[in-house]
Amino acid sequence: MASHAEAEGYLAGLGDEVRVLAEAVHRVFVTLGCASYVKTIYVGYEIDREMVAAMYARADYVEVALALSEDLEGDLLVDATHLTWRTLPVAALVRRTDDLPVFETLATDACDRVRSRAHDVHRDNEFFAQRRMERRSRRYLNRRHSAA
């Protein structure tokens, strides 16, 4: 049985409000059979050394990048390009305990995709460079428009 002590230590250091959400998200991945590890700003989850998810604790919510299809849409989902994961294209924003049932379905789907080797998203450097240029262009246009 895998130890999740490092992740549990990370979770224990979070503020009360976000810790409740982060612990619930962590339990979902542990129940689904994921191994966990901690990097400086996130908890990673994997199956057979393949990334399933990366959980980021924000001030009052949890953002979880997931191994799902790039074009998947849903109430909790946002584009996760800003997190620069090559294989985790979307993120779920878990803001309330009411979000957890929908999140659990998304996490289950991500685990199933990785476990079955059906997950095939692998973004290259060019993808991220293009997205950075698009964001810069939008910011520039927004500044020009607001100055006019």
pLDDT the model gives residue 46: 94
Give the pLDDT confidence score for residue 141 in this predicted structure: 61
pLDDT value at residue 79: 87
133: its two tokens: 């240029």
Do 108 and 66 contact (CB within 8 A), yes or no? no
pLDDT at 135: 58
> Do the Cβ atoms of 58 and 22 come closer than 8 Å?
no
pLDDT of residue 87: 84
pTM of the entire predicted model: 0.81
Q: H or E element: which one contains 142?
A: helix 125-147
Q: Residue 7's pLDDT is what?
A: 95
According to the model, what pLDDT value does residue 139 have?
A: 64
Which residue ranges in the chain fall short of pLDDT 70? Answer: 1-2, 119, 121-148
What pLDDT does residue 145 have? 62
Q: What is the pLDDT of residue 128?
A: 40
Sheet with 62-66, side-by-side order of all strands = 35-38, 43-47, 50-57, 62-66, 90-94, 77-79
